[in-house]
């Protein structure tokens, strides 16, 4: 697993609740934050990508976050909508995400160079 992808800048994910923040991809709105984790080497956002019936949840590594605008309640990420929508669906409960899921996503989201 690429630790850089799962680490976060202290200004990005913190103890502040990001639930409900809009997630903005490089080419437009992708969804809203359902929940997040600020764990060292395993920080992420769970993003709800659409309406209840048609949407699904995906997990975005913290390393994809460009910045968070708390005033506008928006998280800007460095990935296009199609890449995020194509990510493996996250089906999980609150709590720790299994290491194998984080590893698979690390391969999917490979760091941008």
Task: Check residue 2 and give its pLDDT.
Answer: 47
The two beta strands, 28-37 and 22-25, are antiparallel
Q: To the nearest whole number, what is the mean pLDDT of the chain?
A: 78
Instruction: Please state the CATH superfamily assignment of the domain spanning residues 3-108 in this structure.
Output: PRC-barrel domain (2.30.30.240)
DSSP category for residue 97: P
Task: Check residue 20 and give its pLDDT.
Answer: 94
Q: Where are the domains of the chain?
A: 3-108
Distant-in-sequence, close-in-space partners of 102: CB < 8 Å, separation ≥ 6: 1, 6, 42, 44
The three-state (H, E, C) secondary structure of 52-64, written as one string: CCCCCEEEEEHHH
- For 44, the 3-state DSSP assignment is strand
Q: Residue 38 in contact with residue 18, Cβ under 8 Å?
A: no
Give me the residues of the chain with pLDDT under 70, please: 1-15, 40-42, 52-54, 92-96, 98-99, 101-102, 110-113
């Amino acid at each position: 697993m690429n630790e850089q992808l799962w680490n976060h800048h202290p200004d990005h994910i913190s103890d502040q609740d990001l639930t409900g923040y809009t997630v903005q991809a490089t080419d437009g709105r992708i969804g809203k934050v359902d929940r997040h984790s600020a764990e060292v080497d395993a920080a992420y956002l769970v993003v709800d990508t659409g309406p209840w019936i048609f949407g699904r949840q995906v997990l975005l590594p913290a390393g994809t976050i460009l910045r968070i605008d708390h005033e506008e309640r928006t998280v800007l990420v460095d990935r296009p909508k199609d890449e995020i929508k194509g990510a493996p669906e996250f089906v999980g409960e609150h709590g720790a995400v299994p290491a194998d899921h984080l590893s698979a996503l690390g391969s999917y989201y490979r760091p941008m160079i």
